[in-house]
Amino acid sequence: MIPTASRVAGAPAPAQPPLSVSALLATWQLRPAPAHPPITQTLAQALGWADALALSQVLDQTWPPAALLTPPAPACQAVLQEAQAALVRLQQELADAMRDPLLAADAAATAVIRPALAPYRLHLSQQQRHLAARVASLRERLQQRLVSLGGPLAPLAQLDALLARALAEPERQAFAALAAQLWQRAERHLDADPRHGLRRVWQDLQRLLEAELAQRLQPVCGLIEALEAHAADPQPPA
């Protein structure tokens, strides 16, 4: 589950939590995707030789006891608070950008003629690129902070960085396919109700962006949860 802003920093919870990607697909009544190949096969196809070598090194290295010494609790807490604040700020800024007030007003109005989807296509494309870049930037900064803390958090951050590079393109293709499904639904909404169908288009668009944000934030939240557990119990197992 993706932590909401309220869980990470005491901010008020959203009135309606965003749907997960799987829940969104179910809501749209899309056919289940074929079974995925094993993750090892996916990584083998996605990793270049340099990343594959780096992954092998991260997984195979043995850490001497000194490397597993936990950094001071105040340092962990400082990074944790910084990461939590950055996550809340990012969620709020991206949510504000998604809800373009002019497009929302146009979607809510009663159309005289069948409305054009071009402005909404452009909005979705821009927001998807913006969202992906902002989340990737936060993820990279958090990886760097965990590496600087050292201990068992460092190899976790290195592994996450490798997986981010390997899965970036498959992830982009998946969300592009989801956007294509959105526009098919949009045409059906307008066919069924040319005067008010744009309201449902806008609702679908918002749900897709919220689901994509939640999905892309999963690795970030996983790193934060690992850091939180590490700060709460700083002593490594014997």
Residue 144 domain-assigned (yes or no): yes
Statement: residue 69 has pLDDT above 80: no
Alpha-helical (H) ranges within 116-196 are 118-149, 153-192
- The CA distance from 5 to 85, in Å, is 9
Mean pLDDT to the nearest integer, 162-173: 89
Would you state the pLDDT for residue 193?
A: 95
Would you state the pLDDT for residue 27?
A: 86
- The CA distance from 190 to 196, in Å, is 8
Mean pLDDT to the nearest integer, 66-70: 54
Residue 237 domain-assigned (yes or no): no
Across the chain, mean pLDDT equals 83
* Cα-based torsion angle of the residue sequence 81, 82, 83, 88 in order, rounded to the nearest 10 degrees: 90
* Cα-based torsion angle of the residue sequence 181, 16, 106, 30 in order, rounded to the nearest 10 degrees: 10
Mean pLDDT to the nearest integer, 115-136: 97
pLDDT by residue (tens digit) across 11-24?
Answer: 444 446 678 888 88
- The CA distance from 226 to 27, in Å, is 32
Query: Environment class of residue 212 by beta-carbon count within 10 Å: exposed (0-12), middle (13-18) or buried (19+)?
Result: buried
Statement: residue 194 has pLDDT above 80: yes
Residue 15 domain-assigned (yes or no): no
Mean pLDDT to the nearest integer, 152-165: 90
216 neighbors 130 (Cβ within 8 angstroms): no
Residue found by looking up tokens 């008020």 in the block? 12
83 neighbors 148 (Cβ within 8 angstroms): no
pLDDT category of residue 237 using cuts at 50, 70 and 90? very low
Residue 65 domain-assigned (yes or no): no
Residue 228 domain-assigned (yes or no): yes
Q: Token pair of 214, please?
A: 């939640």
- The CA distance from 212 to 18, in Å, is 10
Q: Token pair of 192, please?
A: 């069924």
SS3 label, residue 210: helix
Mean pLDDT to the nearest integer, 36-47: 62
Residue 40 domain-assigned (yes or no): no
Residue 225 domain-assigned (yes or no): yes
Would you state the pLDDT for residue 208?
A: 96
Where in the sequence is the domain holding 81, given as residue range(s)?
A: 70-232
As a residue count, the chain comes to 238
Statement: residue 151 has pLDDT above 70: yes
Closest listed residue to residue 226, CA positions, set 149, 172, 132: 149
Statement: residue 209 has pLDDT above 80: yes
pLDDT by residue (tens digit) across 73-97?
Answer: 788 899 999 999 999 999 999 999 9
pTM, rounded to two decimals: 0.81
Residue 47 domain-assigned (yes or no): no
120 neighbors 201 (Cβ within 8 angstroms): yes
Give the count of domains, the chain.
1
pLDDT category of residue 166 using cuts at 50, 70 and 90? confident
Mean pLDDT to the nearest integer, 41-68: 59
Statement: residue 3 has pLDDT above 50: no
Would you state the pLDDT for residue 25?
A: 83
Q: Token pair of 172, please?
A: 């982009």
